[in-house]
Copies of this chain bind each other. A is one copy, B any other.
Amino acid sequence: MSQKDIAGLKVDKDRLMKDIHTTCEWGKGERWGDAETETGMSRLSLSDTDKQARDWFHETTTALGCKVHVDAMGNQFAVRPGLNNDAPPTYAGSHLDTQPTGGRYDGILGVTAAVEMLRVLNDNWVETSYPTAVVNWTNEEGARFPKSMTASGVWSGDIPLEDAHNLKSVIPANDTATMRSELERIGYLGDVPCSWEASPMAAHFELHIEQGPILEAENRRIGVVQGVQSYKWFTVTVRGRDSHTGATSFQHRADALLTASKMILASHKIASKHGALASTGILNLKPGSTNTVPGFVQFSLDIRAPQDDTVNTTEAACKSAFSALAAGEDVLNIQAGCTPSSRQCTVDWHTDFVSPATHFHDDCIASVQAAAQDLCGSGEVSGRDIGSWGKLMTSGAGHDSVYANKRCPASMIFVPCRDGVSHNPSEYSSPEQCADGANVLLGAVVRYDKLRGERGWESGP
């Protein structure tokens, strides 16, 4: 195909939106607007509704002429043959699971746009040099089984299969299911080993909503994603002493919740100072009674920054500050005006997850940028300024592309989402924005395939 032929390939916006909204019937969440599709999503990984979405993926891609296989983590790989089928496919993909109160675009757009890519290739009788494929990764959200991007992590060799299989469901509380038992229950425990060797990829492209406000605020259509910021997840445990709220003076308390509140505030101030992000999304306490000062609090802490060093510095500063606050010492003037207590709390940290900064592959980034430029029009391009249509970006969120990038060249495409809102029922990208992203995904994959053909790459550069 000529560059012009490639640029002429366009997705069918309505067909794409129909796929998104049809599949979002399974696992529909909270309503946020009046229109029929203005509801969020609650499609937890390996739930009954996730099975429905998976069945749709299998049937649709099979009907489009793909050979579909499932691995031991339930990852679904749909491969459309190319001219040379001895080499690994060029992949597009994302995930179909959602947060418990998530929206219709996070992950879902990436998979449905990749399926739309298959349709466009078929409609235009395009024969790619190598196979072209779509992947649906299992449990990217880590919401139900608490490890993000579990199944791409097993595929890349970073997470042991057994650890992943043994992950316990945390939603609903008291669920006794594990990933393995749920994979078996819904019939998605595949017989192919979960690994980059058993399901090799020549490249991995992922379209995703930005999940942040930058593209919308700067009125840009496409984010060309060069990498993913560094992040670490911790569980922080504060232990004090249960005591009666009415009969225990401030001087005699070891109030684990007051102390945790100071720590959460301190983490925000410290991250602000270092140009990092620190966030707490989960907090549990015991015993949980209006008239009992809690003696036990456990909370999550998520620290992120573009550079690993910044995350580590912020972590160290938080560790020092939390220890001081637990001991009743002042940090950042937070204690000013508090009643000093003769009793202390203790604090313990557990590191749950470390994801160093990811730098995507230049060839993939270049393919995304070229496809976006074809779509949006040219303009002066130099350095990080790629024209008013788009922006070179670092992703704030982790994605399956982080693990994919460890075993093959990868990059991502971002499209704006309204108000930067994500992990929320009202998450929204317009049909035009979705189609923009799908067109760039299609263009990037076809371009990369062409590059492979030209350079004679079998399995990658």
Contact = CB atoms under 8 A, between A and B. Distances in A.
Interface of A: 99-101, 141-143, 146, 148, 173, 210-213, 229, 231, 233, 241-250, 252, 255, 257-258, 260-262, 264-265, 268-269, 271-273, 277, 279-283, 285-295, 300, 302, 304, 332-334, 336-339, 352, 395-398, 420-424
A302 B242 contact: no
B283 A290 contact: no
A451 B59 CA distance: 89
Contact of A244 (B243, B269, B288, B396): B396
A258 B424 CA distance: 18
Given A279-B245, A424-B242, A250 B268 contact: yes
Contact of A250 (B249, B277, B286, B398): B277
Given A212-B249, A338-B269, A420-B248, A283 B262 contact: no
B421 A243 contact: yes
A243 B277 CA distance: 13
A286 B395 CA distance: 24
Contacts of A337: 269, 272-273, 332-333
Given A148-B291, A210-B247, A283-B283, 19 more contacts: A101-B242, A241-B421, A241-B424, A244-B422, A245-B279, A245-B281, A246-B302, A247-B397, A247-B420, A247-B422, A250-B268, A250-B271, A257-B283, A260-B261, A269-B337, A272-B339, A281-B293, A282-B285, A295-B424
Given A229-B246, A281-B245, A396-B246, A213 B423 contact: no
A422 B211 contact: no
A285 B288 contact: no
Contacts of A146: 290
23 contacts: A100-B288, A142-B290, A142-B291, A148-B291, A212-B247, A213-B249, A231-B246, A242-B424, A243-B421, A244-B423, A245-B281, A245-B304, A246-B302, A246-B304, A249-B277, A250-B271, A272-B339, A273-B337, A279-B293, A280-B294, A282-B289, A295-B424, A333-B336
Nearest to A250: B272
Nearest to A297: B283
A231, A247, A423: which has the most chain B beta carbons within 10 Å? A247
A130 to B, nearest CB: 33
A146 B338 CA distance: 29
Nearest to A208: B247
Nearest to A295: B424
A295 B285 CA distance: 19
Nearest to A282: B288
A334 B265 contact: yes
B281 A292 contact: yes
A231 B291 CA distance: 11
Contacts of A101: 242, 286-287
Nearest to A285: B283
A136 B227 CA distance: 66
Given A247-B396, A268-B338, A423-B243, A288 B281 contact: yes
A336 B269 CA distance: 8
A260 B268 CA distance: 13
